[in-house]
């Protein structure tokens, strides 16, 4: 194991809440019972290790797991009611196809290429990355947290996500949507329902959010002070840092740890935790193609975050 990867093993993953729905692998329940909860941020790799593999594909998830990071991804429902993992509401930017997810069938989406045009060295990769959960089960060497972001609440998607997760590898979750269907979908299951997430960008908004009884999680665009974090945790609210696209300052991780933040969501998980570039031989696609640095078309539209 390389020195860089050894450095990254300092991550401690525990049950948290982020984005819309978060699941922790079943493997983590025993860990939670035997280890004390510590304020070590969970590192969420936005869309997988997107700088070294095509986003939201099996190689991107495999690379994130190799780094020791958790994964943030987006879930949409196809026209025939199937779940797929893709960042945008259309397939235009990330595949060789065009069209809205809700207008395409699962069979049509599976025929698309989400790899060849994005990063050198990768062959065709399917746009349907649901198999990534099976990969996580096979490859994880520690609890992996999955943050599922539902940008479009289509009919029945919440119940399908709960059923999907129960039938794969997950044992615990928190729902962070104020949507009544989302809360209804998790009630009565083994999952725990929360209330809502609040996005804030400065200390004034932070103080206001702390007074909101429904705000379980604060999704912030800056690193709060230790005093602010103590106040949030005293009120049993979690605080997550959502880094802006392109933000890869090496001091962010240490700042978040010192502040006591619960987690970080970033496009640059390697650069946040470690120094230098990752060794290319560590990040190899499932089909065996080595990764190369990602071109600019892996960037999501301006202003978009996790």
Kindly write down the DSSP assignment for every residue of 15-45, as one continuous string: ----SSEEEEETTHHHHHHHS----PPEEEE
- Highest mean pLDDT pick, 117-121, 264-268, 300-304: 264-268
* 235 Cα distance to chain centroid: 25
Which sequence spans correspond to the domains of the chain? 3-284
> Tokens standing for 272?
């946040």
Cα gap 67→268, rounded to integer Å: 11
Phi, psi of 240 (to 5 degrees): -120, 140
Q: Rounded distance, CA 239 to CA 259, Å? A: 10
pLDDT over 60 (residue 28): no
Confidence of residue 63 (pLDDT cuts 50, 70, 90): confident
Query: Do 104 and 79 touch, CB atoms closer than 8 A?
Result: yes
Confidence of residue 59 (pLDDT cuts 50, 70, 90): confident
* Consecutive H or E run containing 205: helix 203-210
In contact, 164 and 150? CB cutoff 8 Å: no
* pLDDT at site 182: 59
CB contact set of 199 (below 8 Å; sequence gap of 6+)? 219, 220, 221, 242
Choose between 213 and 35: higher pLDDT.
213
> pTM for the full model?
0.68
Residue 234 has pLDDT above 90, yes or no: yes
Structure tokens at 66: 């190799």
Asked whether the beta carbons of 62 and 82 are under 8 A apart, the reply is no
In sequence order, the 6+-apart residues with CB closer than 8 A to the CB of 5 are 66, 67, 68, 282
Q: How far apart are CA 240 and CA 265, in angstroms?
A: 8
Whole-number pLDDT of residue 226: 94
How many angstroms separate the CA atoms of 35 and 185, rounded?
30
Residue with the bigger pLDDT between 144 and 196: it is 144
C-alpha span between 275 and 284 (Å, rounded): 20
Helix (H, G, I), strand (E, B) or coil at 272: helix
The structural architecture, per CATH, of the domain 3-284 is Alpha-Beta Barrel (3.20)
């Amino acid at each position: 194991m390389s020195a860089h990867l050894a450095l990254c093993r300092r991550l401690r993953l525990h049950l948290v809440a982020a984005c819309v729905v978060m699941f922790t692998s079943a493997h983590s329940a025993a860990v939670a019972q035997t280890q004390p909860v510590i304020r070590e941020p969970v590192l969420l790799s936005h869309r997988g290790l997107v700088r070294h593999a095509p986003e939201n594909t099996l190689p991107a998830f495999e690379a994130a797991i190799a780094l020791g990071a958790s994964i943030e991804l987006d879930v949409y429902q196809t026209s025939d009611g199937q779940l797929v993992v893709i960042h945008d509401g259309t397939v235009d930017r990330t595949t060789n196809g065009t069209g809205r997810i809700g207008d395409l069938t699962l069979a049509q989406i599976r025929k698309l290429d989400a790899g060849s045009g994005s990063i050198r060295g990768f062959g065709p990769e399917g746009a349907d990355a649901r198999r990534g959960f099976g990969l996580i089960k096979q490859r994880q060497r520690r609890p992996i947290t999955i943050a599922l972001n539902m940008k479009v609440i289509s009919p029945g998607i919440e119940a399908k996500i709960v059923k999907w997760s129960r039938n794969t590898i997950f044992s615990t979750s928190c729902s962070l949507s104020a949507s009544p269907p989302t809360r209804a979908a998790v009630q009565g299951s083994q999952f725990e329902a929360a209330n809502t997430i609040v996005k804030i960008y400065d200390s004034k908004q932070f103080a206001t959010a702390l007074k909101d009884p429904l705000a379980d999680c604060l999704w912030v665009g800056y690193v709060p002070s230790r005093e602010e974090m103590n106040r949030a945790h005293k009120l049993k609210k979690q605080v997550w840092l959502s880094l802006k696209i392109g933000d890869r300052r090496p001091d962010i991780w240490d700042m978040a740890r010192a502040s006591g933040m619960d987690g970080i969501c970033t496009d640059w998980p390697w650069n946040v935790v470690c120094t230098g570039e990752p060794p290319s031989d560590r990040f190899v696609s499932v089909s065996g193609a080595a990764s190369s640095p990602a071109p600019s078309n892996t960037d999501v539209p301006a202003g978009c975050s996790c």
